[in-house]
Amino acid sequence: MNFELTNELLDSIKASIESKSELFIKNELSELYPADIATILYELSGEDAHYIMQFLDTEKGADVLSSIDSDDRKRFVGEHFTIEEIATYVNLFDSDDAVDFLNEQTIEVREKVIALLEDREHARFILDLLHYPEDVAGGLMQKELIKVYENQNVSECIEEIRNQLESVDKVYAVYVVDEDNCLKGIVSLKEIVLARKNTKIGNLLMEDIVSVDTTVPGEEVAELMQRYDLEALPVVNAIGRLLGRITIDDVVDFITERAEEDFQAVTGITGEVEEDDTVWKLAKSRLPWLVVGVLGSLMAATVIKGFESQLARVTALALFIPIMGSTGGNVGIQTSSLIVQSLAEKSALSLSLSERLFKIAKVALINGFVISVLAGVYLYAIGESQLFLVVCLALLAVVFLASFMGTVTPLLLDKVGINPAVASGPFITTANDLVGIGTYFLIAHWLL
């Protein structure tokens, strides 16, 4: 059954915290999933949330901390947890989650926690992962996995799996390596169970597998796992030695985080911000593109001022200024969104620039013609038929130019290594406002 946090439950928990009613808190939390408990913690003060964490067993508490948003967790843990408490939870995290958790803390806290870890192999795993950037395969992988040697038989392999399972929560595959720890392939649990106990693992392994090295970008990792429908992906170094694995849950987290960043970029918000961030941080994240928008609008106003004499003679021209800007902005965003999507799904069969432009031109011709007809009908309906040719040609030109800009801008940004998602936001909208209005008045000047 889906959990729903009600005001009644929240009030009861707050009252229990105030009255120190430990039994009620334990009973309420015992049946809840870690993610549901995290939902409750979001609604409490940091001190009360820390008080509740004391009534969870350590393993469940670690799962709760894993469910809390990174920024909130950084603040929560940094203000209310001791070094010893942090070390207790880090001991229970998978190595990749432990690294994400520790990277949120100061260097001093990080070093003290690693020094306190009881499981020294776990500490070594964390130290191995700390130097990888978080957006490459090395930063996404975890060190915990099941591996066996190709010269072992099935009986030895099963014993090896039993020994390693203590540190591995989910077994997606059993990796097979040689004496130098180089990845040779994988073997399924089904094959191991069905094989005779003296059968060599090397005779059962599947060699044709997908793997990545530590420097592969996270976007490419996600694409590979989606394309081949993988639940886990082995990570190797430059000479093929097995270093770790990337599991599907970490890839989903990565995709979600990237999608949020791209969405914020599209809407003109810089940096990673949340609704409950400080007023100054929220304002600062929105100002850059707002300034760009204002500057673009001021330039558009300058363009209009330059055609003041035409406006004075034919005041009806003012009626169609908004449609030129909005049409150009909408067409530009639609086109650039498709281009950004195609860049995210790179393929050897991707269209060349000339093919893209030719296709976009045909689409623009159809869209521009339909929009022009609608505008022409409206012109005759309001008795402004003398503007028919001006408005129709201007709309057709605006659609063509906006489509061109929506295509070229993301491609250029991608070429120079800038996230092309930013091209789909206020930049294109503002630029097309300026181009649309300028085009409209130039055509009006020539024809009238």
Q: What angle, rounded to 10 degrees, do the helices at 95-103 and 83-90 form?
A: 150
pLDDT value, residue 82: 93
Kindly state the average pLDDT of the residues 293-310: 75
pLDDT at 147 (0 to 100): 93
Confidence of residue 302 (pLDDT cuts 50, 70, 90): confident
Report the candidate in 395, 369, 386 with the shortest Cα–Cα distance to residue 316.
386
Residue 422 has pLDDT above 70, yes or no: no
Domains and CATH numbers, the chain: 7-133 (1.25.60.10), 146-253 (3.10.580.10), 279-447 (1.10.357.20)
Q: From the CB of residue 440, how many other CB atoms can be counted at a distance below 10 Å? A: 28
Work out the number of other CB atoms within 10 angstroms of the CB of residue 374. Answer: 12
pLDDT digits (tens, 9 = 90+) for 372-404: 889 888 888 888 888 888 889 989 998 988 888
* 258 pLDDT higher than 60: yes
Helices (H), 43-94: 46-53, 58-67, 70-80, 83-90
Please report the pLDDT score of residue 278 as a whole number. 65
Q: Beta-carbon neighbour count of residue 51 at 10 Å? A: 16
Measure the CA–CA gap between 42 and 332, rounded to whole angstroms: 39
Tokens 């978080």 sit at which residue? 134
Task: Report whether pLDDT(414) > 90.
Answer: no
Task: At 213, list the tokens.
Answer: 């090295």
Confidence at residue 348, expressed as pLDDT on a 0 to 100 scale: 44
> Residue 336 — pLDDT band, cuts 50, 70, 90?
confident
User: Mean pLDDT, to the nearest integer, of 195-206?
Assistant: 90
Scanning 346-425, the segments in alpha helix (DSSP H) are 353-381, 388-415
